[in-house]
Structure 1
């Protein structure tokens, strides 16, 4: 429940990795890597793609290609770019980040419009707007397609680039039936992660125009992200696209079941509906901190994630089955009952 980054390669994926035909990625001669990039570019409706070691590098490289030092980028205040990528946009790209306040990680076109500064010699130059679909720390919210396009069009009208952090974009696809290409249409750059719900051990694929990917490769080299026989890793991505995409709907359904079970626990509160494989709730009604609640659950063998003073996040993935959902609900109920009695959640050993 901690994160879908905890997903592990399946036996079939490991076998595909062991049998991968490989070459030299930097020379453009690794067959599996080339096939993966072509596959994801087609999936997102983009001209070209590059295989990256991580989603963090995808975001950073997209910013590096499409901005210059002293520029400003507009993002949601709970986004990975602003919160959990070690300020790479500032430290390496030299850009300022303007975070927008949102309830669920989805900002409006009006907010984006208002965030774009008028031209002034004393102000940073607005250069890029980024959205994160689905949102990570705001509870897995799915951006409505209309809002995606409205925000994209704001960027267009002002001559800014539009970037989509699509780490969990395929979870949105599984929930809505809207294709990844429809979500990414008109964006200058977009990417999907392979190492979350798709279960790969490493990797992400960044997409854009052919000219964009030429420059993305240049930054990939500079950052030390170029690889050699990367087909061993790319084969995992190809296997996941063939065999694990359908699992994302199961993950979303399991998250919905977890949501229903947790909502029935006295003192556990939700601010919004669960839309994908991530859910967020508060334990303030238990007079407990999130850290104390999470620690008590972990002692019983269920691992949630504290994301605030009272906020807790849970994430489903291919290693969490229906029995695991039931177990998580039961443990959360036991811990909540202990806190309601005025205890500290009990001290049962991990199962």
Structure 2
């Protein structure tokens, strides 16, 4: 579809991954003390790793370029070729990490059908492979906190403990994709250390709601992190004077965690406003953190039509996931932005395409 590109994005709800570092964070990064990270000589990287290890109650931590690398390295450490990792059918490593476990180490994924990304101990028991030379070996479980495709749903602490208990009873490793773990911490009041207690490995993402420009930190036992370093090296992840970017993570952990509550409030406000727009289907009570999903099929538009009209008529950018419209609030989104997004949705639903600018209308006519 050939669409005009001269309409600026005024409200960006595409994802919290587009959050920009604040001026104060940038200034802090400029002052960071640095050294060779690969040799363990970057004091800022070392401090960040120690902070995360303490936060999560683990022996050690490792700074990595991305959350995807955190997941993939964890699976590589826990599993051997032919082993299987159990996770929900909506999990990020299954859908959005390039099928990494299989080409990287011959690791298989076995899915369970949880409720909005959260599965039960009983489902783990049912998914376990019988010990046999013919079967893949059930070697690890992975949980995603919060569940992205589950609309930001928080895994209950007791459920985490139960699934980990079953996994450990069968000699399996337990891992958490903690991309939005601190959103769950802020939303529930449960500490990150409590969430992490039953897990053998987990990581924090610094580049989503926390506002850092890059990176995640993987944590676990000293032996786990030593082996993780081997895979970091294998994957080309040594970063030299990485303190400049690690400093952003330190600043984020010191200044941007409690403010995640603002994102949650804005997400609830958005959900409540959208629920009042005719034809939009949404359950505001499902919004626990900063992710909002809604259905627009009853408006007579497709999901993509709604997204395109929001972007090119009103400068409001949403994303599409699993056939629905997704909005994620973050550091760069204000209450006023939310009100503007709600009004844009209402106008789109109530106004025919003929009100669009001439060049926009021509593009839509060509596409639809």
User: One fold, TM greater than 0.5?
Assistant: yes
Aligned-CA RMSD value: 1.4
What is the aligned counterpart of 2:176 among 164, 188, 204?
A: 164
Given the alignment of the two structures, is residue 263 of structure 1 paired with residue 268 of structure 2, yes or no? no
- How many angstroms apart in 1 are the aligned matches of 2:172 and 2:70? 18
Cα deviation code 1:213-272 (max 9, x no counterpart): 000000000000111000001100001111111211111111111111111111111256
Secondary structure at the aligned position of 1:85 is classed as: coil
Where does residue 245 of structure 1 map in the other structure?
257
Where does residue 177 of structure 1 map in the other structure?
189
Where does residue 344 of structure 2 map in the other structure?
331
Cα 1:267–1:185 shift into 2, 3 Å: same
Given the alignment of the two structures, is residue 292 of structure 1 paired with residue 305 of structure 2, yes or no? yes
Where does residue 347 of structure 1 map in the other structure?
356
Deviation at 1:344, TM superposition (A): 4.9
Secondary structure at the aligned position of 1:92 is classed as: helix
Report if the CA contact (8 A) 1:255-1:277 is conserved: yes
Where does residue 57 of structure 2 map in the other structure?
45
Report if the CA contact (8 A) 2:164-2:198 is conserved: yes
- How many angstroms apart in 2 are the aligned matches of 1:121 and 1:347? 63
What is the aligned counterpart of 1:188 among 196, 200, 214?
A: 200
**Higher RCO (CA 8 Å, separation ≥ 6 residues):** 2
Deviation at 1:345, TM superposition (A): 8.7
Q: Which moved more, 1:272-281 or 1:179-188?
A: 272-281
Deviation at 1:308, TM superposition (A): 2.8
What is the aligned counterpart of 2:288 among 265, 270, 275?
A: 275
Q: Which moved more, 1:196-205 or 1:107-116?
A: 107-116
Cα deviation code 1:127-179 (max 9, x no counterpart): 00000000112211101111111111111111100000001000000100000
Secondary structure at the aligned position of 1:323 is classed as: helix
- How many angstroms apart in 2 are the aligned matches of 1:347 and 1:185? 54
- How many angstroms apart in 2 are the aligned matches of 1:314 and 1:345? 26
TM-score by length of 1: 0.96
Given the alignment of the two structures, is residue 6 of structure 1 paired with residue 41 of structure 2, yes or no? no
Secondary structure at the aligned position of 2:286 is classed as: coil
Cα deviation code 1:254-310 (max 9, x no counterpart): 11111111111111112561000011111121122211111111111101111133x
Secondary structure at the aligned position of 2:138 is classed as: strand
Cα deviation code 1:167-192 (max 9, x no counterpart): 10000001000000101112110000
Where does residue 133 of structure 1 map in the other structure?
145
1:160-239 → structure 2 map (5 Å cutoff): 160-239=172-251
What is the aligned counterpart of 1:301 among 312, 315, 338?
A: 315
Deviation at 1:102, TM superposition (A): 2.8
Moved over 3 A (4+): 343-346
Secondary structure at the aligned position of 1:130 is classed as: strand
Q: Which moved more, 1:206-215 or 1:280-289?
A: 280-289
Gaps of 5+ in 2: 1-12, 361-368
Secondary structure at the aligned position of 1:192 is classed as: strand
Report if the CA contact (8 A) 1:335-1:346 is conserved: no
Where does residue 322 of structure 1 map in the other structure?
335
Report if the CA contact (8 A) 2:160-2:198 is conserved: no
- How many angstroms apart in 2 are the aligned matches of 1:130 and 1:260? 32
Report if the CA contact (8 A) 1:74-1:100 is conserved: yes
Q: Which moved more, 1:203-212 or 1:138-147?
A: 138-147
Report if the CA contact (8 A) 1:296-1:346 is conserved: no
Report if the CA contact (8 A) 1:137-1:307 is conserved: yes
